[in-house]
Structure 1
Amino acid sequence: MNAKLNKVLLVINPVSGDTDKTPIIDMITDSLGKETEYSMYTTTGKEDIDKLRKKVKAFRPDRILVVGGDGTIKLAAQVCHDQNVTIGIIPAGSANGLATDLELPQNHEKALTVAMGDQIKSIDALRIRESIGLHICDMGINAELIKNYSDSAVRGHFGYLVNSIPTLWKTESPYRFSIAANGVKREVDAVMVAFANSKKFGTGALVNPNGKIDDGKFEVLIFKELNFFEVLKTLNGNIDMTSDFVEVIQSTEVRVTTEKPVSFQIDGEFYDDIEEITVTILPDYVAIAT
């Protein structure tokens, strides 16, 4: 533990990963001891940004510990962006994509040691309308899968597998995308266009080998085809990164339009069915303990 951290704010998502967070909270509070003052904020899904911002300003923590998944980390990052507060991550979501990409421990005790430590990494973010993305966002078949998964009672990687079957059966992909980046506009047919600030999906699949979460750039990944067997390989952490399967464009800004609404997700959470989106990089957006 870092004795310099006198005040710690716990941000708890009680429903992420469909797991009881009480044992994790007890472990954290026991580890902090009497020397560290702590407070807790539990997300409700209603006005969390405003409420958490007020909490941070009133409590003035030295560090925020997030107990949840990518959506909860994103919430904390939006609040901490201009507050000069470092975020520590205790992975407790369904996929934990950002924690996986940052190679943070999945064991909660080990994750707490890292989350309270001195090693800090400043990471970029993606600006997407009124929101941000820290990890990987995409339009197309993966967002359709996440939309169906969010409505399903089956969770975890098996839930993604179960929902991939009806998703692939019902999808209207490939879609026609118009992509404008680096002064070039082009039309492509693809099953998915992803905006990657990092290397891996939450399943651990390496989809952006050259991605760096702190280089001031992001990658546009154009997936040309995807079938059930590719979904299986994705869930097992293997994706065919040949040019016949995926094309990569590195940029700081991109605008994508479609002929009809296409599902869109941000960091593993379904956003909406959209026909256009502009994504820009926000360098050095937030500090994470790594």
Structure 2
Amino acid sequence: MKTNIHFIVNPIAGKGKNELSEALLETYFPKDEYSVSIKKTEFVLHATSLTKASIDEGAQIIVACGGDGTINEVASSLVSTSVILGILPMGSGNGLASNLKIPKNLNKALNIIKSQNAIAIDTGTLNGEPFFSNTGVGFDAHVISDFEENTTRQLFSYVKSTLRTLKNYHYKNIVELKYNGTTELISPFLLFVSNSNEMGYKMSLTPRASLQDGLLDLVIVPELSHFKLFIFAILFLFKKQHWMKEVRFEQITSLEIKSQDNRILKTQKDGEFFVPKEPRIEIAIHPKSLNVCVQ
């Protein structure tokens, strides 16, 4: 019986012009052994509907070809199924792919898919919506909101969005946090929850996070002075943010964030801007709920 593999391609991810030809794929997946289908996304959330159609069509491996947003759309439909996720990193950040040591080199990434060596990884949910790398409330969400307004999605654009957000950011909202049996009130600069040890561009707030430990890594950064924000940014660049005493790290299985003034909290989910429908956010881990091709 032929192995049924579907490729969901985002043509405009990263630098754009992403192409996968049938001729190229046939050199890795010959027609006498594999049934291969290529589908291209045309709009936001199109990858989700294409993935669901591929599941109905009996795909055994569905390959997300794009950045973290595309991977999120494809993987969201594969959680708690037997269908295996493959990844061809074609985006700008590629945090999950990098964490899984899946290279941007197309030939090497295709060989990983051909090997069909799969592991089960943890996944997270934010108000029931899946995420795979990280989610955040506060500064990073505002950076992503600014970043998505750019026509190009490269590292320099991300740096510019970060600097603009730092200049204009005045976050004074008080939230109630519940985790590990504790409750606290805080006016946060950043609440960052990570399932993986990389955010993309080789940057990390949670270098010790693991996709297979059944835990989420929480970073709590309180409201800081401009000087301390500068120090935090410098430490972050050198992956030494833990040197700053104001920054706290916790490992959790669930987290509840509730706005005290019923304000809707801006969030990001796997590097995409996300606005919850209510002022309460519930985040949870789901151990080993997604099968992914790795080396």
Give your verdict on TM over 0.5.
yes
Instruction: Say whether residues 1:258 and 2:255 are aligned partners.
Output: no
2-structure distance, mates of 1:231, 1:156: 19
Partner amino acid for 1:254? L
Match of 1:74 in 2: 72
> Is the 2:54–2:62 contact (alpha carbons within 8 Å) kept by the matching residues of 1?
no
Which segment drifts farther, 205-214 or 130-139? 205-214
Indicate which of 182, 187, 190 corresponds to 1:189: 187
> Aligned partners of 1:25, 1:123: CA distance in 2, in Å?
30
**Whole-angstrom CA distance in 1 between matches of 2:229 and 2:2:** 49
Deviation at 1:210, TM superposition (A): 2.6
Residue 52 of structure 1 aligns with an amino acid whose one-letter code is T
- Offset from partner CA, 1:5-46 (integer Å, 9 cap, x none): 622100111222132111577633443233321112222325
The residue correspondences of 1:9-158 to structure 2 (distance < 5 A) are 9-22=6-19, 27-35=24-32, 36-43=34-41, 44-46=43-45, 48-58=47-57, 60-158=58-156
- Alpha-carbon shift at residue 157 of structure 1 (Å): 0.7
AA partner of residue 144 (structure 1) = H
Tell me if 1:227 matches 2:229: yes
Quote the Cα distance in structure 2 between the aligned partners of 1:141 and 1:174.
11
Tell me which amino acid in the other structure corresponds to 1:199: N
Secondary structure in structure 1 of the residue aligned to 2:93: coil
- Call closer, same or farther: CA 1:228–1:174 in 2, change over 3 Å: farther
**Residues in 1 aligned to 2:51 and 2:233: alpha-carbon distance in whole angstroms:** 37
Unaligned 5+ runs, structure 1: none
**Equivalent in the alignment of 1:244:** 245
Q: Count residues in correspondence.
A: 285
Q: 2: CA distance between counterparts of 1:165 and 1:281?
A: 32
Cα distance in 2, alignment partners of residues 93 and 211 from structure 1 = 22
Deviation at 1:206, TM superposition (A): 2.6
Calculate the TM-score normalised by the size of structure 2. Answer: 0.87
Contact kept? 2:65, 2:88, Cα under 8 Å: yes
Q: Secondary structure at the match of 2:155?
A: helix
Task: Tell whether the 8 Å contact from 2:192 to 2:220 is kept in structure 1 after alignment.
Answer: yes
Task: Give the Cα–Cα distance (whole angstroms) in 1 for the partners of residues 28 and 170 of structure 2.
Answer: 51
What's the secondary structure of 2:5's corresponding residue?
Answer: strand
Q: Which is worse superposed, 201-210 or 19-28?
A: 19-28
Task: Give the one of 266, 270, 274 matched to 1:267.
Answer: 270
Output the amino acid matched with 2:52. Answer: R
Output the CA distance in 2 between the equivalents of 1:223 and 1:26.
Answer: 50
- Percent of paired sites with the same residue: 21
What's the RMSD between the two structures over aligned residues? 2.4
